[in-house]
Amino acid sequence: MDRVAGSLLISLALALALTMLLSPVPLLAVQRYRLDDLGTLGGRDTHPNSINNRGQVVGYSKYSTEDGPYHAFLWEDHVMTDLGALGGVFSEAYDLNDSTRIVGITDTDDKGTGFLWRDGTMYDFGAMTGNRRNTPYGISNSGKIVGRTPAYGTNDWHAFLYANGTLNDLGTLGGPDGIAVDINENDQITGTSNIHAWGELQNRAFMWQNGTMTSLGTLGGKHSSANALNDYGHVVGFSGVTDIGSPHAFLWQDGAMTDLGTLGGFASYAYDINNTEQVVGSAQRQGGDNRAFIFQGGVMYDLNDLVVASSSASYELFDAYSVNNSGKIIGMAYLDAIYTGYILTPIPEPSSVAFLALIALATVLKRTGRLHYPQSSMLVSPPIAP
């Protein structure tokens, strides 16, 4: 290839790449996904709860018969590992961080307790914190844990933060009970507490930061509940729209709670949000059946419509519980009347594939000496991988 032809090729490649990057209209408006079944521990059902940024998944699965108990599991690269229990027969994993530290609940010979799993060993969280009723629900990458703890001398529950070997009671919004379910990398915590309002107890989603617990309000009804937050402090959950109506999924940010709507039915629930503002959950269709959804760019999509047909088979996705920062999603589906866990992996868009192919072609031709940049050409750096 001569110098002029080579320069023309690279100019065309770069022009096309820039067009793909700068075009306001993507070639595919909505992300598509490949579905993989998470499998089981040997029994019938699997319930995934959380996925980290390494693509590892935790939850619980039946490990023997159809009616047998569950064990917590760790799933990675299509392999599901049984985390066992602390002497009993039951365990559930709720959350994990990017260092594969896992929290959940289990039983010993004669009682239930929380657990912390790390480096292949399950530890008794109740023994670590001085009370077997302390229940951990979320863990940050720095190893800080949140959950609920029994309030001293009462039958009430309070939200807690466990950090540096100390369990801190975060209290409530004024009512008797509170629970913390998630913590981000800025030590912001979200959960649900109750308040006294109009002569009754009402639930409120809350944000805790810098020692203060703040109510996030509602969408107009009496109750709200938070499920997760991202590193920007944006919270998702569900709230009543009216005092007696069905709840709607919400996104709270910058002091305002936004109704995410439904898929045509009455109710919806948001379970997780990542740092690219993708929200996942479950919503009713007009017929009343529940469907897993992803909310992005101001639109709620039925995830069943976004899975490539070759991988979806007869799966009916009804819940989406967790989404990581690369867009992988886990949840539950029906398959031939059986509950099963799934993981959805984003399929690269053609524009991204074409761009990378053009860069690769230009690189090969340059290295083999078959492509030469003119001295006056403008150099454009390839994108940095996330």
User: Residue 354 — very low, low, confident or very high, per pLDDT cuts 50/70/90?
Assistant: very low
When comparing pLDDT for 25 and 253, which is higher?
253
User: Residue 16 — very low, low, confident or very high, per pLDDT cuts 50/70/90?
Assistant: very low
For the chain, the straight-line distance linking the first and the last C-alpha, in angstroms and rounded, comes to 34
Provide the pLDDT for residue 145: 98
Share of the chain above pLDDT 70, in %: 82
β-sheet bridge partners, residue 135: 148
Q: State how far the Cα of 233 lies from the Cα of 143, in Å rounded to an integer.
A: 18
When comparing pLDDT for 91 and 4, which is higher?
91
Tens digit of pLDDT for each residue in 328-349?
999 999 998 889 999 999 999 7
User: Residue 7 — very low, low, confident or very high, per pLDDT cuts 50/70/90?
Assistant: low
Burial profile 14-35: b = 16 or more Cβ within 10 angstroms, e = fewer: beebeebeeeeeeeeeebebeb
Q: What is the rounded average pLDDT of the residues 155-160?
A: 96
Q: What is the rounded average pLDDT of the residues 88-109?
A: 96
When comparing pLDDT for 377 and 158, which is higher?
158
Tens digit of pLDDT for each residue in 356-385?
444 444 444 444 444 333 333 222 333 333
The mean-pLDDT minimum among 3-17, 33-47, 190-204, 307-321 falls in 3-17
Residue 131 is which amino acid?
N
Asked whether residue 321 carries a pLDDT value surpassing 80, the answer given is: yes
Share of the chain above pLDDT 90, in %: 73
3-state secondary structure the chain: CCHHHHHHHHHHHHHHHHHHHHCCCCCCCCCEEEEEECCCCCCCCEEEEEECCCCCEEEEEECCCCCCCEEEEEEECCEEEEEECCCCCCEEEEEECCCCCEEEEEECCCCEEEEEEECCEEEEHHHHHCCCCCEEEEECCCCCEEEEEECCCCCCEEEEEEECCEEEEEECCCCCCEEEEEECCCCCEEEEEEEEECCEEEEEEEEEECCEEEECCCCCCCCEEEEEECCCCCEEEEEECCCCCCEEEEEEECCEEEECCCEEEEEEEEEEECCCCCEEEEEEECCCCEEEEEEECCEEEEHHHCECHHHHCCCEEEEEEEECCCCCEEEEEEECCEEEEEEEEEECCHHHHHHHHHHHHHHHHHHCCCCCCCCCCCCCCCCCCC
Provide the pLDDT for residue 44: 85
Tens digit of pLDDT for each residue in 184-193?
999 999 999 9
Q: Is 68 helix (H, G, I), strand (E, B) or coil?
A: coil
Rounded to whole angstroms, what are the CA distances from 94 to 101, 115, 227, 230, 275? 11, 10, 12, 17, 20
The residue ranges of every structural domain in the chain are: 1-28+349-386, 34-139+280-348
Q: What is the rounded average pLDDT of the residues 139-156?
A: 95
Provide the pLDDT for residue 304: 96
Provide the pLDDT for residue 278: 98
User: Residue 5 — very low, low, confident or very high, per pLDDT cuts 50/70/90?
Assistant: very low
Which pTM value belongs to this model? Answer: 0.84
Tens digit of pLDDT for each residue in 23-77?
443 434 689 999 999 999 998 899 999 999 999 999 999 998 767 789 999 999 9
Tens digit of pLDDT for each residue in 224-249?
999 999 999 999 999 999 988 899 99
User: Residue 320 — very low, low, confident or very high, per pLDDT cuts 50/70/90?
Assistant: very high
When comparing pLDDT for 8 and 213, which is higher?
213
Q: 116 with 94: CB under 8 angstroms?
A: no
Provide the pLDDT for residue 350: 62
Q: Is 304 helix (H, G, I), strand (E, B) or coil?
A: helix
